[in-house]
Amino acid sequence: MEPIGFSFLSRWKEELVCSSDRGSFVLVFAMGRPTVYLPSQERWSKIGPKWARQAWAELHDQLRVWCEREGVCLVVDDESGLYEL
């Protein structure tokens, strides 16, 4: 499978929109201390968008770079959720 390139855009109500040419989904982006919550790889394999379930490592790497550039904390969490757009 070809690698997926993700882009990230914060929007109101503490959401981070994660987009690619295959689809989009939203992660929690808490604003008190700016923090993005990414489901753990195990949880992602169950709740992630079907088109992205095999791309957790790519997503994590790209999201980590974005968070570092934006001064945002990244937390990998077994309880985190998401929703598809």
pTM of the predicted model as reported, rounded to 2 decimal places: 0.93
pLDDT on residue 1 = 63
| pLDDT value of residue 2 | 78
| pLDDT at residue 31 in the model | 87
Provide the pLDDT for residue 41.
97
Which residue ranges of the chain lie beneath pLDDT 70? 1
Cβ-proximal residues to 82 (8 Å cutoff; 6+ apart), any chain: 25, 26, 27, 28, 39, 47, 48
pLDDT value for 12: 81
Query: Is 77 within 8 Å of 35 (Cβ atoms)?
Result: no
Q: Please give the pLDDT value at position 85.
A: 85
Dig out the tokens for 23 from the structure: 């689809």
- List C-alpha distances in Å: 34 to 2, 3, 25: 31, 28, 19
